[in-house]
Amino acid sequence: MVKKVISLLVEAGNMKPGPALGTTLGPMGINMGQVTAKINQATAGFKGMRVPVSLVIDINTKNFDVEVKQPPVSQLIKKELGFAKGSGAAGSQIVGDITSQQVIKIAKEKVGKTLSKNLKEVVKEVAGTCLSTGVTIDGKNPKQFIKDIESGSIKI
């Protein structure tokens, strides 16, 4: 059994066949339409986000499986706030404000899926992503939010 794994970042529930993937799948004899349909079905729950997907292909049998990975933190923040794009000038352009409870909710989804060892550290990771996408937390700069966590004034 020879397997090939292809990593993709797709628009959940809305992947369309494209030449990049077609040139990879075509020589293997894999039906692009079936792959697209299966990926769209598997990612439908994350509609509106870009989601990492692994396509695992058994080259001998031409069978394939779709493994949907956890969306990046930036996509989860965008989903929580309902906007499509982060700031192009993070630090000087604010595109939204998220609550600390929403940050903790996102962090709970990512616990065990990042290199951080505990929820507090993952919350700080999410806050860092808020900073880079131009999102404040409870009206504060995410750097201040992290300082408040470290000082103990915000309990996680």
Q: Is the pLDDT of residue 1 over 70?
A: no
Per residue in 50-104, pLDDT (tens digit) is: 899 999 999 889 899 999 998 889 999 988 988 877 666 766 788 899 999 999 9
Report the domain count for the chain. Answer: 2
Strand 135-137 to 96-98 pairing? parallel
Last residue of a domain, one of 68, 96, 115: 68
Q: Are residues 85 and 130 in the same domain?
A: yes
Q: Are residues 78 and 50 in the same domain?
A: no
Q: Is the pLDDT of residue 117 over 90?
A: no
Q: Are residues 146 and 78 in the same domain?
A: yes
pLDDT mean across residues, the chain: 90
Range of the domain at 50: 3-68
State the Cα–Cα distance between residues 92 and 95, nearest whole angstrom.
10
The pTM score is 0.75
Last residue of a domain, one of 68, 89, 109: 68
Per residue in 125-141, pLDDT (tens digit) is: 999 999 999 999 999 99
